[in-house]
């Protein structure tokens, strides 16, 4: 994917206070998370009220791209007012079954990016919309009609630079030790969570026998993303 703009080197990250050992500053791990998930949550404060909205997104180099209607919306307002927003993405990779509910946990990867949304205009907006399309439905743009001027005028693309990001990861087995006093005959371990696309379902007005497009075939036959292999060594932390 062609990067819309180059970005300066990211500053020192925020620090996680609770279970700080789970924080990572690995940019490759961050990009893998953002490039694997499809939905993020954008948060801002509007008129003193916090608002969180889930939305599809795409990563373009050092930016996260989102889009919405030019007719309104809190994201567009936050951008015009120069507010600091937060954008979060989380992947649940598995459930950790310990020998007590207190010690049970989840394996996950999560990231929160902070910053000011920037409008993307002109040719850069066209590239950004294509980037969003290719992230969610690769190849679909070549199979359908082009957007009309009215549709383009009704769509606003915004981007958030990935300068101020905090990421947290748990990828481990259940907390246990030979002398922890627990009944080891009770099963403990990790149940990984995987994902796959289902069988395509044609719309009601799609004529019977219409071939399934290449973009859908490629999506539904691609290998599902698996969670990272857990480090099954005993951990003291929950």
Domain boundaries, the chain: 20-194+211-221
Please state the rounded mean pLDDT for residues 198-219. 96
Q: Phi/psi class of residue 19: alpha, beta or left (left: φ > 0; alpha: ψ in -120 to 50)?
A: left
pTM: 0.83
- CATH code for 20-194+211-221? 2.30.110.10
The residue among 32, 24, 67, 38 whose CA lies nearest residue 160 is 67
131 and 5 Cβ atoms separated by less than 8 Å: no
The tens digit of pLDDT for each residue in 34-86 reads: 999 999 999 999 888 999 999 999 999 999 999 988 766 788 888 888 899 99
Q: Which of 79-83, 170-174, 233-237 has the lowest mean pLDDT?
A: 233-237
């Amino acid at each position: 994917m062609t990067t819309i703009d180059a970005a300066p080197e990211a500053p020192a990250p925020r620090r996680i206070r609770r279970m700080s050992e789970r924080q990572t500053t690995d940019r490759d791990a961050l990009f893998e998370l953002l490039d694997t998930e499809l939905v993020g949550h954008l948060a801002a404060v509007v008129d003193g009220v916090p608002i969180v909205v889930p939305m599809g997104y795409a990563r373009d180099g050092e930016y996260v791209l989102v889009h919405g209607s030019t007719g309104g919306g809190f994201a567009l307002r936050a951008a015009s007012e120069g507010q600091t927003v937060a954008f979060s993405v989380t992947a649940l990779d598995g459930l950790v079954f310990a020998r007590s509910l207190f010690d049970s946990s989840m394996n996950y990867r999560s990231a929160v990016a902070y910053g000011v949304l920037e409008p993307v205009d002109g040719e850069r907006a066209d590239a950004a919309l294509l980037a969003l399309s290719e992230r969610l439905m690769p190849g679909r743009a070549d199979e359908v009609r082009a957007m009309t001027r009215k549709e383009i005028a009704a769509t606003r693309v915004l981007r958030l630079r990935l300068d101020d990001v905090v990421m947290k990861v748990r990828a481990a087995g259940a907390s246990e030790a030979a002398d922890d006093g627990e009944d080891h005959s009770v099963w403990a371990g990790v149940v990984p969570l995987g994902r796959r696309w289902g069988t395509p379902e044609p719309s009601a007005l799609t004529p019977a026998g219409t071939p399934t497009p290449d973009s859908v075939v490629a999506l539904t036959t691609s290998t599902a993303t698996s969670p990272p292999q857990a480090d099954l060594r005993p951990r003291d932390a929950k």
